[in-house]
Amino acid sequence: MPLSLLALMITAPAAAVAPAEPAMPQPAAILAQTRRVADWQLANRTNWATMPAARKSVQEVRDWQQATFWVALTELANRDKKYAQPLLDLGRAEKWQLGDLAYHADDQLIGQAWLWAAQNGAGKGAIAPTKAYFDHCPRESPDDQP
């Protein structure tokens, strides 16, 4: 009997057993991992050596690439108030401004974090620049539609 056929016959019973279903992580374990990742991100948020291939726009905290982190951090801050302070500090440092590109969703995403901040300690001043922007931007009329 060729060696490969013998090996197949020996391992066949093991191969017939269905693999065990992976266990779903428990909510507490997910939250612990989320905290671990958030802590690393906060500690390394200006360490660009950790992202050597990143475009220059990654360094802009109001651009979508960082704004997605800050918006996600609002959800973590709802569960653990330790994460609220970095959000409030960032907003104050950025003077609650949106990104530089008008009519560009990438630069408006950070406004979601500012909205959270307004509702969680920063007050109405956190959304004042966003509100002023949208109050003064021209609206499309039905005639402007293609």
List, for residues 87-138, the tens digit of each pLDDT value. Answer: 999 999 999 999 888 778 888 999 999 999 999 999 999 999 988 887 777 6
Report the candidate in 81, 77, 80, 88 with the shortest Cα–Cα distance to residue 117. 88
pTM for this one? 0.74
38 occurs within a structural domain? no
Q: Residue 107's domain spans which residues?
A: 58-137
CA distance 35 to 41: 10
123 occurs within a structural domain? yes
- Give the total number of structural domains in the chain: 1
Residue spans of alpha helices (H) in 59-109:
64-79, 84-93, 105-108
Rounded average pLDDT over 28-35? 94
